[in-house]
């Protein structure tokens, strides 16, 4: 078995190879004069594990090209972050089911797929091959243990993140809850924890994705108003679009921590160990 990666996920791929003590293939990347991507993969073996997050459209092309370059091998695709997964329904007539389009295209050339904290599990069958989603809850709990807070309240920003908050709470031995909206009037909503008050407490808001940071910034403002003493955020996929990091810090969040499913300066814990465990 050998690991091979897109340019997006080189560091994570290196860590997975290290954890498995297996080789990583060298890939030369360049562009044709018209901008098309060219790659040449070296040392392809019988079983190739392709690692690549899909954040921007070029990542998708790189994955398709790598899958084709390895087409003589048995391929396991590790898709640490799957962009387009949030368009998992047709919300309005005429829209594509983008998650299905992406999954079908990537699933067609591979033997099996592993995803990490996929936004909706309903996307998995669209790959058309055995596909498993794994959760980083345990790694997130380990990250939270390193924060200067002995008994944080773990909060999901909405009901969809309640299970993640609960799993992290169980792993670390902390209380967990999720936020819900109470409509006060036509214009005014209040966001508060479903059952555990935050007054005087250190809070860690956990989520699968931080994209614009809007969800978190709004929750942070409300939680400080309700007396929270410090707020941190730990997410799986730090997309951090449109200045999200500065938006969150200016909202008073003490730290923004994400995994290396999307590699950035906020990637302060790794998905590699958990991915390596499922590949063993």
Q: What residues act catalytically? A: 181
Virtual torsion, Cα 159, 192, 248, 244, nearest 10 deg = 30
Closest CA to 91 of 79, 99, 82: 99
> What is the Cα–Cα distance from 257 to 262, expressed in whole angstroms?
11
The binder of ligand R5P chosen from 209, 219, 234, 272 (CB under 6 A):
209
The binder of ligand R5P chosen from 59, 202, 207, 263 (CB under 6 A):
207
The binder of ligand R5P chosen from 25, 53, 215, 258 (CB under 6 A):
215
Judged by beta carbon, residue 145 or residue 267, the one nearer ligand R5P is 267
Examine residue 211 and tell whether it contacts ligand R5P (CB under 6 A): yes
Q: In terms of C-beta density within 10 A (0-12 exposed, 13-18 middle, 19 or more buried), how is residue 253 classed?
A: buried
Examine residue 273 and tell whether it contacts ligand R5P (CB under 6 A): no
> What is the Cα–Cα distance from 112 to 78, expressed in whole angstroms?
9
> What is the Cα–Cα distance from 206 to 257, expressed in whole angstroms?
10
Least Å distance, CB 156 to ligand R5P, is: 9
Closest CA to 238 of 254, 251, 256: 256
Least Å distance, CB 43 to ligand R5P, is: 38
Examine residue 98 and tell whether it contacts ligand R5P (CB under 6 A): no
Judged by beta carbon, residue 159 or residue 265, the one nearer ligand R5P is 159
Q: Is 92 helix (H, G, I), strand (E, B) or coil?
A: coil
The binder of ligand R5P chosen from 157, 169, 172, 193 (CB under 6 A):
157
Examine residue 238 and tell whether it contacts ligand R5P (CB under 6 A): no
Per-residue contact flags (x/-) with ligand R5P for residues 32 to 71, judged by CB under 6 A: ----------------------------------------
Least Å distance, CB 271 to ligand R5P, is: 17
Q: In terms of C-beta density within 10 A (0-12 exposed, 13-18 middle, 19 or more buried), how is residue 12 classed?
A: buried
- Look at the alpha carbons of 242, 243, 247, 248 in this order and tell me if their dihedral is positive or negative: positive
Judged by beta carbon, residue 83 or residue 169, the one nearer ligand R5P is 83
Least Å distance, CB 9 to ligand R5P, is: 20
Running DSSP on this structure, what letter comes out for residue 5? Answer: E
Judged by beta carbon, residue 80 or residue 107, the one nearer ligand R5P is 80
Examine residue 213 and tell whether it contacts ligand R5P (CB under 6 A): yes
> What is the Cα–Cα distance from 5 to 27, expressed in whole angstroms?
8
User: By the criterion CB under 6 A, which residues form the site for ligand R5P?
Assistant: 157, 160-161, 207-215
């Amino acid at each position: 078995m050998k690991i091979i990666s897109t340019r997006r996920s080189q560091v994570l791929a290196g860590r997975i190879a290290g954890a498995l003590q297996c080789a990583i293939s060298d890939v030369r990347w360049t562009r044709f004069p018209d901008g098309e991507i060219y790659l040449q993969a070296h040392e392809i073996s019988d079983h190739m594990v392709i690692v690549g997050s899909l954040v921007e459209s070029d990542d998708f092309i790189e994955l398709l090209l790598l899958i084709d370059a390895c087409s003589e091998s048995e391929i396991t695709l590790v898709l640490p972050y799957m962009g387009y997964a949030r368009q998992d329904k047709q919300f309005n007539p005429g829209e594509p089911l983008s998650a299905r389009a992406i999954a079908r295209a990537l699933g067609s050339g591979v033997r099996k797929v592993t995803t990490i904290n996929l936004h909706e599990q309903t996307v998995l069958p669209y790959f058309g091959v055995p596909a498993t989603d794994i959760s980083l809850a345990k790694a997130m709990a380990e990250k939270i243990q390193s924060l200067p807070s002995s008994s944080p309240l773990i909060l999901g920003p909405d009901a969809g993140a309640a299970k993640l908050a609960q799993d992290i709470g169980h792993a670390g031995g902390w209380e967990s809850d999720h936020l819900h909206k109470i409509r006060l009037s036509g214009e005014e909503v209040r966001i508060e924890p479903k059952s555990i008050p935050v007054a005087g407490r250190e809070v860690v808001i956990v989520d699968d994705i931080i994209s614009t940071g809007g969800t978190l910034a709004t929750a942070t403002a409300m939680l400080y108003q309700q007396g929270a003493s410090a707020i941190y955020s730990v997410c799986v996929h730090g997309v951090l679009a449109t200045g999200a990091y500065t938006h969150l810090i200016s909202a008073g969040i003490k730290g923004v921590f994400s995994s290396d499913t999307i590699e950035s300066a906020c990637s302060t814990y790794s998905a590699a160990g958990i991915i390596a465990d499922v590949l063993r």
